[in-house]
Structure formats: C-alpha cells, structure tokens
Amino acid sequence: LVRRAVEKLRSADALASLVILHYFAALGGCDTARDQAFMDLGLYWEHDWTADGPVKRPARAAWQEGLADNITQYVDALQRDAVARLSTLIPRTGNPPRFFAFNPLGWTRTDAADFGYDGPEDIHVHDLAAATDTPHQFVTVSGVNYLRILARELPSVGYKVFEVRPGAGEAPRDAAATFAERTLENTRIKLVLDGDGAITSMVDKRNPTVELAATIGGAKINDLAPDDAGGRSIAIEHSGPVSVTVRFTSDAALTHVTRVTLYRDSDRVDLRNEITENFSNVRHWAFSFNFVSPDVHTEELGAIIRLKKKSRDGHYAERNARYDYATLNHFADVSDGTNSLGVTLSNWDCAFVRLGHSTATALDTATAQLNVLAGGQVDGPKLGIPAQNGAAHFLQRFALRAHRGYDPVAAMRFALEHQNPPVTGAVSGKSAAQLPANSYSLLTVSDPGVLLWAVKPAEEGFKHGIIARLWNVSDAPAKATLTLQ
C-alpha cells in the first residue's frame, strides 16, 4: 500500500502543480495532513523490520498499517482534488461529453487510458488535438466500468482532451490481439501460457527465431508454482481494439488469479497477479529467461546497480555483504552478454528479488532467473510479522518488454509508464476557463537521458510555486534545459 501511494504521488503532485498555477488553494486537505504523511513515510521504513523488540508483533503490525492508511488517504485526496479542479480549468463547448487524459511523466507517450463511464456504447471517441478518432473499448476493472482508449502522443506533464461522440466513427475496431490454443499475440509479441498463467514461451517478433523464455528449476516466467501448471479456468476477460486481457484462475501453490494483457501495436506485456489466500511460508514469482551469460541490473532507491561483485565490474562488496536478496524498486533488467538481447521487468508492488540460486553468502550470477519475493519471513519464524499479519489478498503487478542491448534510460521509462498510467477526468470548465481546450504541456526536458523524477508544489506551501526534481539516469554528466509554459 505504501509503495503504491509513493508511486501515485508522482501523478498527484504533477496534477497539483499544474492546478496551483491557476488556482491558489490547498488541495488534498490541509497542510497538517500533508505534513503527517511526510512524517509517516519516514517512520514506515525504519529499521526494526525484524519485529523482535519489546513491542508485541500484533501491536507493531497495527501501527504500521495505520501509517499506511494515513499515507494512502493523503495521496488519494490530493489526486482526487487536483483532478476535480483541473476539470473546471479546461473549457467545454457543445453537448458531447469530454474528458482529459493527463500524462504525469516528462516525455511524450502513447498508452491506454481508462475513463469511468456508464453511458451508451454506440459511440466513438475523437482526439480533439489530433482531429482524429482513436480506438476505444469498454472494460470492467475491480467492479468499475471504464471507457478505455488508446491515448496517442500525450504531451509531457500535460493532457489531451477527448470527446465522446455518437455513432461508429473511423477508428480501427479489430481486436488488439488474438488468443487461441493458449497462444496470445499481437503485432509485436507472441506468448504461450500455462493453465496457471505462467509464460512458457515469449518471442519478440523483431527477432522471431529467438526464444526468450526458459524453464529453470521447474519455474517459467511469472510462475508462482514451479513444476505445477494446473489451472482451474481460462477466459478472455476483455477483447477490443485497444487491449486484450486473458484471465487465469489457479490453485497451484496458492489460490491466485493472473491476468495477461497485450495492447495494440505495443511490445509491453502486462501481468496482474492476485493471490487470494493467506500464507505463512516464503513465496516468489519466478521469471526465467533463455540467456547464457545473464547480466542483471536493478533499480534501488535512487541508484541503478549491477548485480555482480566489484571484482567483476559490479556494485556488490566482496565481503561483509548479504547476497540473497537485492532491493527491487521500479525495474530489473536481464540481458544476455552473448547476443545483446534482454528483457526488462517492471515491478509495481513488490520490494525484493533473489538472483538465481543466490544465498546470503553466495551471489549466483550464472542463472538467468529473477525470483521476486511475494511474501514470507525470509529469516525464519523468529523474525518478522508471521503469516502476513492475516492478510488474504495480495495484488502484485509486473510488465515485460524485450529489447536489444541494455539501456537504463529505456528501462526506467518503460517501468515508469507501466506504473504511472494516464489519469483521466471529465471536462466541465466554462468557455472562459484558463487552460486550452484541446491539449497542454506544463514543461519539457531537453535531454532524454535526464528524467523528470518529480514536479510538485513547494514544501513551503502552494503559493510558493513548484519544484522540479530531475535524475540523470545515463552514465555520463549531462546538461538539460527545462522549458515551461
């Protein structure tokens, strides 16, 4: 929950930054709630994770859950208020409903965008900035009905406006992908899946003769249950011109539901896993790749590290180090030194990964397998909170992208796009509203290797302007120019 809230804060802060330049008022509640969330973030990740101190484990777990609730509530309120205010700042003319799709990231992107919708289905969606129709479909996610569109060329830290019009329109209406005989494919990628949703074959159609997937120790890609491919049901959940989602329900290892989604003309594979029962043992999602000489990088908190020891040009110390788990923030990347191919794994919800068969004292750099920690007490029953404190639902999402040659900038951009979907809202402004009716970009960054990490209202208060934080992800020093409206 805390991890998701921190990621969502990127969108909430970016929306708030755009809004306060035109509307000087507090968003997301009072400054007290903001300051408390700041303090709670500092407290949540303190060092007594072993939970073996004088405070009893149930009390400690309840305290941390309270911190998580405070953080989540503040971020949710900030984004909700910013969306509502932005809706009134964009002018709407005529009768057809309009909505915006906002991109919180510092570069132009194309992605699916979901807008809450319960209207008629005999419609088409028109991109006002491009003056063209865009593909759409209807989906239900977690019980909520959405109009999903293909939002092309969303501007940097900005929005495009789309209009819902009656009739068929001119956008493509064929399905974004096909699914038959457990094979899911679109124009860019081809997958073969087991009954539990694990991927047994992954082929990038730019390199159609190369198999990227492997089975290592009985585990495939996105595999919770090595050596068990059993599934209870398989169903196409959504199929339309924007995306196709296949749902796999399984009792293998633990009761879980896996949804695999491909998008129109996209090489991104979305994986949405939900474990739906409590567990007390250590569990992993395995990702096994067909690489002979794996070279692995992970993003930690503000650093990208190479999972090798220093003597092998990596970032791990030769001694006084623990090798069984690496911090996993936005992404892990596995590349093959023999053929320059690789796969980036975007990680939305989890926190640690074990490389191959690594132990606390030995780092396994020869096995092309990532084992993402789904949960459990990794140091035995005497340390940590037992049985996930009774929780019985775990949402753990990933995305995959095949590539040629490891590129930290491309890996980070891919992960940020997966974990920061466009934010939508109805357009309700009067004709004299301050912002443009079709599209708008708050700022752009000149160097593609310098990523806008955050744009947010100043800590001193909303009336003191905005702060931009940037991260030079490339390996060389860089100069970047920010251009603002």
Model pLDDT, residue 234:
97
Per-residue pLDDT of 288-325, as tens digits, reads 999 999 999 999 988 999 999 999 999 999 999 999 99
Alpha helix (H) residue ranges in 92-158: none
CA-CA distance, 333 to 342, in Å (whole number)? 7
Instruction: Pull the structure tokens for residue 416.
Output: 């940020």
CA-CA distance, 15 to 80, in Å (whole number)? 10
Per-residue pLDDT of 25-78, as tens digits, reads 777 777 889 999 999 999 998 877 788 889 999 999 999 999 999 999 999 999
Q: SS3 for 288?
A: strand
CA-CA distance, 236 to 221, in Å (whole number)? 20
Taking residues 8-30, what's their average pLDDT? Answer: 88
The total of other beta-carbon atoms located within 10 Å of residue 283's CB is: 20
CA 239 to chain CA centroid, Å, is 21
Show Cβ contacts of residue 199 under 8 Å, excluding neighbours closer than 6 positions.
Answer: 191, 192, 193, 213, 220, 221, 222, 260, 269
Model pLDDT, residue 27:
78
Model pLDDT, residue 105:
98
Instruction: Pull the structure tokens for residue 24.
Output: 């000087």
DSSP H or E run through 318: none
Q: Which of 228, 251, 242 minimizes the C-alpha distance to 114?
A: 242
Catalogue the E-assigned strands of 218-288: 221-223, 233-239, 243-250, 256-263, 269-275, 283-288
Taking residues 278-292, what's their average pLDDT? Answer: 97
Model pLDDT, residue 31:
83
Per-residue pLDDT of 93-127, as tens digits, reads 889 999 999 999 999 999 999 999 999 999 999 99
Q: Predicted confidence band at 24 (pLDDT cuts at 50, 70, 90)?
A: confident
Taking residues 86-99, what's their average pLDDT? Answer: 95
Please state, in angstroms and as integers, the Cα–Cα distance from residue 222 to each residue in 201, 256, 263, following that order.
Answer: 11, 12, 18
Q: Predicted confidence band at 22 (pLDDT cuts at 50, 70, 90)?
A: confident
Task: Output 5 or 22, whichever has higher pLDDT.
Answer: 5
Contact between 113 and 421 (Cβ < 8 Å): yes
Taking residues 472-482, what's their average pLDDT? Answer: 91
Contact between 367 and 216 (Cβ < 8 Å): yes
* Pairing outcome for strands 341-347 and 331-336: antiparallel
* Pairing outcome for strands 256-263 and 269-275: antiparallel
Backbone angles phi, psi at 306, to 5 degrees: -100, 125
Per-residue pLDDT of 184-215, as tens digits, reads 999 999 999 999 999 999 999 999 999 999 99
Show Cβ contacts of residue 152 under 8 Å, excluding neighbours closer than 6 positions.
Answer: 110, 127, 130, 134
Model pLDDT, residue 1:
93
Q: Which of 246, 300, 286 minimizes the C-alpha distance to 270?
A: 246
DSSP H or E run through 153: strand 144-154
Indicate the angle between helix axes 2-20 and 31-44, nearest 10 degrees.
150
Model pLDDT, residue 400:
98
Model pLDDT, residue 485:
86
Q: Which of 120, 112, 134, 116 minimizes the C-alpha distance to 167?
A: 120
pLDDT of 231 over the 90 cut:
no
DSSP H or E run through 294: strand 294-299
Q: What is the pTM of this model?
A: 0.96
Q: Which of 294, 296, 354, 293 minimizes the C-alpha distance to 323?
A: 354
In terms of Cβ atoms closer than 10 Å to its own Cβ (0-12, 13-18, 19+), residue 32 is: exposed
Please state, in angstroms and as integers, the Cα–Cα distance from residue 335 to each residue in 322, 366, 399, following that order.
Answer: 23, 12, 16
Show Cβ contacts of residue 215 under 8 Å, excluding neighbours closer than 6 positions.
Answer: 200, 288
Average pLDDT value for the chain: 95
CA-CA distance, 131 to 313, in Å (whole number)? 51
